[in-house]
A and B are shown apart, each in its own frame.
Chain A
Amino acid sequence: MNDMTPTREQREAKLEGMGCKRKRVEDIRFTQGRGNYVDDVKLPGMLHGDFVRSPHAHARVKSINSEEALKVPGVLAVITAETLKTVNLAWMPTLAGDVQMVLADGKVLFQNQEVAFVVATDRYAADDGINKVVVEYEALPPLMDPFKAMEPDAPVLREDLAGKTTGAHGPRKHHNHIFEWVVGDKDLTDAAFRNAEVSIKEMISYHRTHPSPLETCQCVCSFDKIKGELSIWGTFQAPHVIRTVVALIAKIPEHKIHVIAPDIGGGFGNKVGAYPGYICAAVASIVTGKPVKWVEDRIENLTATSFARDYHMTTEIAATKEGKVTGLRVHVLADHGAFDACADPSKWPAGFFNIVTGSYDFPTAHLSVDGVYTNKAPGGVAYRCSFRVTEAAYCIERGMDILAQKLGMDPAELRLKNFIKPEQFPYHSALGWEYDSGDYHTAMRKMMESVDYVGLRKEQAEKRAAFKRGETREIMGLGVSFFTEIVGAGPSKNCDILGIAMFDSCEIRMHPTGAGIARVGSKSQGQGHETTWAQIIATEIGIPADDIMVEEGNTDTAPYGLGTYGSRSTPVAGAAIAMAARKIKAKAQMIAAYKLEVHEGDLEWDIDGFRVKGLPEKSMSMKDICWAAYNSVPPGMEPGLEAVSYYDPPNMTYPFGAYICVMNIDVDTGVYKVRRFYALDDCGTRINPMIIEGQVHGGLTEAFAIAMGQEIRYDDEGNVVTGSFMDFFIPTAVETPHWETDFTVTPSPHHPIGAKGVGESPNVGGVPAFSNAVNDAFSFLGSTHIQMPHDFWRNWRAAKNLGVFAA
């Protein structure tokens, strides 16, 4: 061999495969302003639609008069529920088995609900039209407190459900009741509490918030009357699902619906569901024969298009006096707003909240969830988390801290004592999950050593003593969080959306010159799939990642997939990609054997091609095999080199992590300072460490926002009081803490490449770390639990309530 022959390391490096901090393909266009987002789509003759919205939270709609609006120059149509009824679209089905008004039909049930859709030649004319639509309302008493929803004399919100004692998820107990979901062994759990040496009980609320990606929800619908085809460009995290939903409700044959999700400016769960704007734009295009664009503004996004959380969790833990947990009992009051539009797999009304036993070996547990209607916006999306998993993680992680406090034990020590042990995996939890793999003790100890946990506790003790001596007005909190996520929805045995199993898919087509295209059923909203998916293929088939183009989001070309949310892309689509690549590799091996005139079994894989065992100089690169696939395949074999895989995962994946937040709070002002935040994540095999770290930074920043101030809050009259970026907390670079990231690697045993997913872990694990830090800071003053969000004012109020100010 001459010196020019690349070394094995050079050949590996050239692939930029798994484990490589490959720079992102997407960035070339994004840094130059050449992304293609929905609002960038401009079609000839395109019209704009915009909504008349309700100022009331609860009111009867007496009349809608569009006469003056239609006189406004540029206004072409005003669509109301009456118009939609002619095509049977005044109501639409929700993902949760409920129905939702597309436009107000007789009543409005939340502030900023969609009442009429004005279609005009441009955005400004549409807005002029909105101002001229006259709607007469008769105000009704709003129901804003979920705890009052099931009182006997509570106002009836959903008149359309009158007399319906059964909903999509079983019996309804009250006119404002949606469902009750019960899991676990009640008798055994009740017995555990009867026999408990120690127990705690706390109502832990996780307030309503909103994913608010920087790009709001939007679409362009274009109906071609001649062909009978509907094209929709939209901000869709799950484009194929949108196509099927449109086919089912609009009665357009599915092959005549073209859904295209171009570049998406962040999703975080906000862009999973189907919203009235999509339906109205589609109907408007059918009515006018012109393309119609709908772009919501930020206020509309925050107040009408989905929400997240709003879980009120009464949490009880039973334990021995040595701190061994013996039982968990949780009741959740879930505020779903005016319609149950919760975006969960269809059979899971409270998502995977039954992961609430967390990382701990609970011998028994019992969970019940009651969903109720209120006069708030519908939704219930998984804001950068798997379905209701962040609520569950917050519930158990706060609960464990409260238990530690009652036992007088260190919270980290209590966790170490109760962790599921490595040898217990696969572990069957008391509430029905099979955890695939984990090594919690190692992760926890690595975290504690990395931050000098013992030293921090010592410093805290000194600070507390100094506070009591009146030498400082600053208190210090350590927020420990150890979370287990459940992601990768999901196995067809337990997950579907509207009857479609939650598999995912990949099609790879290799071209003669050794480059190829991979089309995938997932849909990136910033996760960098064009970069990472190519890395999986590079490692699997030995073609440089740069030579693989990844395409997502076009339902005409991509194989059917269930989209990207709930950290499912890597666990499900990532597996489909590896499996499709392995089909390519298997065929390539047959071609190589034929060309090298040996038996297939005599070949072995070597980075970027096959070589004959024992004769390394006799080899054929994958690039050459691609060429051969188009001119000299073995007799009887079809030419070409492509493969499709639809992957139905055998189980969920269970990423985990150990986080800690170190915080100081000034009791006189409530001002906090995050001194340090360390996040150790175990997401199994790491495909691109650079992207993982970026995901963790972003998720932690969202967790920081949620825990420390971000909230969708209503007043008693049903007005949203945090409906713009003026009041809805989005941290800037100034407030955002510095993040330290770390990792351990415990591969998933059932995933083809051992990867588990990571995008949502930092939101799930971050929120309890922040909240525990605040609660830990105040605990020595006699406080057990302070509700989120922990903004300056609430911290100051907590200090005041704990009597730290001189009388």
Chain B
Amino acid sequence: MAKTHVTMKVNGAEVEGLVEPRTLLVHFIRENLMLTGTHIGCETTHCGACTVDIDGMSVKSCTMFAVQAQGSDITTIEGVANADGSLSALQEGFRMMHGLQCGFCTPGMIVRAQRLLTENPSPTEAEIRMGISGNLCRCTGYQNIVKAIQYAAAKINGVEFQEAAE
């Protein structure tokens, strides 16, 4: 099948590649760019493991073609850490609050949570739960993911994190 030339910015770097028109963005990211942190858990846009940030929006990259991302600015999990290489507030929160187990949903979950906190820096628990409802987790039961996001929000806002009582 004839290939198309695409260019986009991924994690701050200009990238390019030749793709079929039908190549899914997630395959371009994982297989052409070798950024394998973005995962595939379903093919029906339900699980959110493939979530990346595109031009300021959370997008499930398994149901978008690479050619549709032409010229866009994308952040994947590999672009989330602080500039000095240390864990971001969210990455640290997930570790401190035990917000992950198998780690398969984690990249999509963190990328989504980052967008959520950008849009709503002090979300309530209900807002967090609704905000990540496009991302499925089979291991944690979400409770510690919610805490991880609360931890990150507190850290970003410069306030002390107070864990809700059980």
A-side residues, CB < 8 A to B, are: 23-24, 26-37, 39-40, 42, 73, 123-124, 212-216, 263-266, 268, 295, 297-299, 525-528, 690-691, 693-695, 697-698, 700-702, 724-726, 730, 732-734, 736, 738-741
Contact = CB atoms under 8 A, between A and B. Distances in A.
Given A24-B95, A37-B104, A736 B142 contact: yes
Nearest to B104: A265
How many chain B residues sit at the interface, stated as a range, is 35 or more
B25 interface: no
Interface of B: 1, 20, 22-23, 27, 30-31, 34-44, 46-47, 49, 76-78, 80-81, 87, 91, 94-96, 98, 100-107, 110, 128-130, 132-146, 166
20 contacts: A23-B95, A24-B98, A24-B100, A31-B100, A32-B87, A34-B37, A35-B37, A35-B104, A37-B36, A39-B40, A214-B39, A298-B42, A701-B141, A702-B138, A724-B42, A726-B46, A732-B142, A733-B133, A734-B133, A741-B166
B77 A266 contact: no
Task: Give the interface centre of A32, A124, A691, A724 by most chain B CB atoms within 10 Å.
Answer: A32
Contacts of A732: 129, 132-136, 142
A733 B142 contact: yes
Nearest to A688: B98
A725 B42 contact: yes
A474 to B, nearest CB: 21
B91 A691 contact: no
B44 to A, nearest CB: 5
Contacts of A123: 27
Contact of A32 (B23, B41, B80, B138): B80
Nearest to B103: A30
B75 to A, nearest CB: 11
Contacts of A691: 98
Contacts of A216: 41
B80 A698 contact: no
A698 B38 contact: no
Instruction: Identify the interface centre among A33, A264, A295: most chain B CB within 10 Å of its CB.
Output: A33
Given A265-B103, A266-B138, A297-B42, 9 more contacts: A27-B103, A31-B103, A37-B36, A212-B138, A215-B102, A264-B102, A526-B103, A733-B130, A733-B142
A693 to B, nearest CB: 8
B91 A32 contact: yes
Given A42-B34, A215-B41, A690-B98, A32 B81 contact: yes
Q: Is the interface of A mostly helix, strand, loop or mixed?
A: loop
Given A736-B141, A736-B142, A740-B166, A698 B101 contact: yes
A53 to B, nearest CB: 15
A27 B95 contact: yes
Given A32-B37, A697-B141, A698-B141, A214 B104 contact: yes
A219 B31 CA distance: 16
Contacts of B142: 697, 701, 732-733, 736
B133 A27 contact: no
Nearest to A35: B103
A724 B136 contact: no
A730 B138 contact: yes
A48 B116 CA distance: 37
Contact of B43 (A24, A265, A299): A299
A29, A36, A732, A733 interface centre (most CB from chain B within 10 Å): A733
Contacts of A739: 141, 143
Given A32-B81, A35-B103, A734-B130, A725 B47 contact: yes
A732 B49 CA distance: 13
Nearest to A724: B44
A698 B104 CA distance: 14
A733 B138 contact: no
B160 to A, nearest CB: 19
A222 to B, nearest CB: 18
Nearest to B105: A214
Please indicate which of the listed interface residues A123, A298, A695 has the most CB atoms of chain B within 10 Å of its own CB. A298
A698 B103 contact: no
A477 to B, nearest CB: 21
A26 B99 CA distance: 12
Contact of A694 (B34, B98, B129): B98
Given A214-B41, A725-B44, A33 B35 contact: yes
What are the 4 A-B residue pairs with the smallest beta carbon separation, nearest first? A33-B37, A526-B102, A265-B104, A30-B103
A31 B138 contact: no
